């Protein structure tokens, strides 16, 4: 049976991590009242989501401005609902809300439903944010992503504290 967790005006919606840089797990966490959902994301999914929110808002008639950025840690305990296999993003012109959907992987070849469609499909977390909340969400996501390991100046791969074997330096450690 498909679960659809809907957060229409969440109290909090953030990207956060658990673990040390290089070993971090990224979470999309949303809270409405006492109900909290946490979805595991790949770093690249989080980066693209933040980037696309910025692009989406620049294409709409959403009013400028932003909500204060949330720099607090993730709500604990963190209980993973599922790992996101796909993400959806859209703008509802009637409600003037950004819609973010995270869909679970089912292990089967299942079509992902359209945004805001409750037909059969994978488990889903659906979030509706104002333009201001979406901008604050994207800003925090970008800050979290960039707070990881610094890039190597030669190859742009992440540097570990002990250095790494750089392909551009012909395999020598930096």
Where along the chain do its domains lie? 4-149
Q: For residue 117, what pLDDT is reported?
A: 80
pLDDT of 159 > 80? The answer is: no
Residue 171 pLDDT more than 90? Answer: no
What SS3 state is found at 83? strand
User: How high is the pLDDT of residue 137?
Assistant: 95
pLDDT for 173 equals: 54
Among 5, 146, 134, smallest CA distance to 70 is for 134
CA angle 112-1-28, nearest 5°? 55
Mean pLDDT computed over 139-165: 82
Most confident of 21-30, 32-41, 105-114, 155-164: 32-41
Do 113 and 119 form a contact (C-beta atoms < 8 A)?
yes
pLDDT in tens, 46-72: 999 999 999 999 998 777 776 777 889
* Interstrand relation of 124-129 and 4-7 (parallel, antiparallel or unpaired): parallel
Return the sign of the alpha-carbon dihedral for residues 29, 30, 36, 40. negative
The interaxial angle of helices 43-59 and 131-146, nearest 10 deg, is 140
Q: Write down the pLDDT at residue 66.
A: 67
Provide the pLDDT confidence category of residue 45 given band limits of 50, 70 and 90: very high
Question: CATH number of the domain at 4-149, please?
Answer: 3.30.2450
Closest by CA to 15, choosing from 26, 31, 24, is 26
pLDDT, tens digit, for every residue of 77-123? 999 999 999 999 999 999 999 999 999 987 666 667 777 887 888 99
Q: Supply the pLDDT for residue 148.
A: 77
43 Cα distance to chain centroid: 8
DSSP letter assigned to residue 23: S
* Per-residue model confidence (pLDDT) at position 123: 92
Mean pLDDT of 152-162: 77
Residue 172, pLDDT > 60, answer: no
DSSP for 92-107 reads ETTTTEEEEEEEE--S
Q: Model's pTM, two decimal places?
A: 0.83
Q: What pLDDT, on the 0 to 100 scale, is given for residue 100?
A: 97
């Amino acid at each position: 049976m498909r679960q659809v967790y809907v957060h229409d005006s969440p109290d909090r919606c953030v990207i956060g991590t658990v673990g040390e840089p290089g070993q971090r797990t990224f979470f999309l966490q949303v809270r409405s009242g006492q109900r909290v959902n946490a979805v595991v994301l790949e770093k690249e999914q989080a980066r693209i989501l933040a980037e696309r929110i910025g692009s989406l808002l620049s294409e709409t008639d959403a009013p400028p401005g932003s909500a204060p950025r949330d720099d607090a840690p993730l709500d604990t305990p963190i209980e993973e609902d599922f790992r996101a296999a796909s993400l959806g993003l859209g703008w509802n012109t009637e409600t003037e809300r950004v819609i973010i959907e995270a869909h679970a992987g089912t292990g089967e070849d299942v079509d992902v439903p359209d945004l805001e469609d409750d037909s059969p499909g994978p488990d889903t977390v659906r979030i509706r944010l104002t333009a201001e909340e979406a901008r604050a969400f994207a800003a925090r996501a970008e800050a979290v992503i960039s707070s990881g390991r610094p890039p190597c100046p030669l190859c742009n791969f992440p540097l570990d504290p002990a250095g790494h074997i750089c392909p551009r330096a012909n395999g020598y450690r930096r």
